[in-house]
Amino acid sequence: MHNDENEEHWTDHAICRGADPDLFFPIGYSAPVLQAQMDAAKAICANCPVKAECLAWALRVGEPDGIWGGTTPEERRYLRRTAEAPARRRLPVIVVRGDASESEHASAA
């Protein structure tokens, strides 16, 4: 049987454990004072040995608030969008009769 009670978790090694939680949850992300708060939180994350695990967790659960793994909610939304985006591939050229001559169609392909 698996005993989770005695097992370490990545959060046990997070250096933010002793920091003020309010630092990581600013009310907004654009006002200068809030920007300074966000920068201070990110500075703590920058030195954290479990930064990657923290970010992976926040991305996996879709954490909508706070600084996690050194990222803001906006940065995580961007990371999720780019990770989930399908690979781009060239679309086929579709010619409707009368829209283009045969030579234009051949040069487009």
Closest CA to 53 of 84, 15, 11: 11
SS3 state at 71: strand
Q: What residues are designated binding site for [4Fe-4S] cluster?
A: 16, 45, 48, 54
Q: What residues are designated binding site?
A: 16, 45, 48, 54
- Those residues whose C-beta lies under 8 Å from the C-beta of residue 40, and which sit 6 or more positions away, are 23
